[in-house]
A and B are shown apart, each in its own frame.
Chain A
Amino acid sequence: MLMENRLRVLRAERSWSQLDLAEKLEVSRQSVNAIETGKYDPSLPLAFRIAELFDRSIEEVFVSPSQRRSGAI
């Protein structure tokens, strides 16, 4: 089960395009798109880089599948 995330919202708040975010993370735009659309879960190091870029904790960016199932979030 893939994780949900708030990447699109966080990116929109800063008026960044997918390409802008990709360049800041030093990944391809396809990677950002795949993560945003829930087709790919990033590795832990990349998830930390994303969270740190937005000055958030990982839990504020990515939704734990177990918490989503239990309805906690």
Chain B
Amino acid sequence: MRPSSAIKRYNIRVVWLSLLYAAFLVGAILAFNHRLVAGPLAYLAAILPAIPIIGIFVAIGRYLVEEQDEYVRMLMVRQTLWASAFALSLATIWGFLESFGLAGHIDAYYVAVAWFGGLGLGACINRLTLGTAGRC
């Protein structure tokens, strides 16, 4: 499938945000390991790696707005719905397992990891049910 201008912009945004994420994460780890931050600055340093991840959610939203091909857009909407269902279901199940002492603690940001994994699941389901995974 020939990439649309919307998907090209999405890919560029995701690459830059991924690079930013890596830089912020390494910076935050170094800052905490060397005890360079404390107080409010520590909160800022801890939140910094989350900002590019939130940016990727925004990039996906922008892509859905900018994509002119309604069928391809529908495929991506289906992927995001599957991703949301997958991540929220996993988080709910894990939450109860943890509450009853049957599973260890997992950091909350793994919900986002599960959501991105759910996008892949959505692409597979698109391929199985509609014969095409879409552009993402």
Contacts and interface: CB of A to CB of B under 8 A. Distances in A.
A57 interface: no
A63 B20 CA distance: 51
Interface stretch (B36-44, B55-63, B66-74, B103-111): B66-74
Given A40-B74, A42-B70, A29 B1 contact: yes
B72 A31 contact: yes
Contacts of B68: 26
Given A34-B130, A34-B132, A39-B130, A28 B74 contact: no
Interface residues of B, number: 13
A46 B69 CA distance: 10
A66 interface: no
B2 interface: yes
B89 to A, nearest CB: 26
Interface in A30-48: 30-31, 33-35, 39-40, 42-43, 46
Interface of B: 1-2, 4, 68-72, 74, 130-132, 134
Interface of A: 26-31, 33-35, 39-40, 42-43, 46
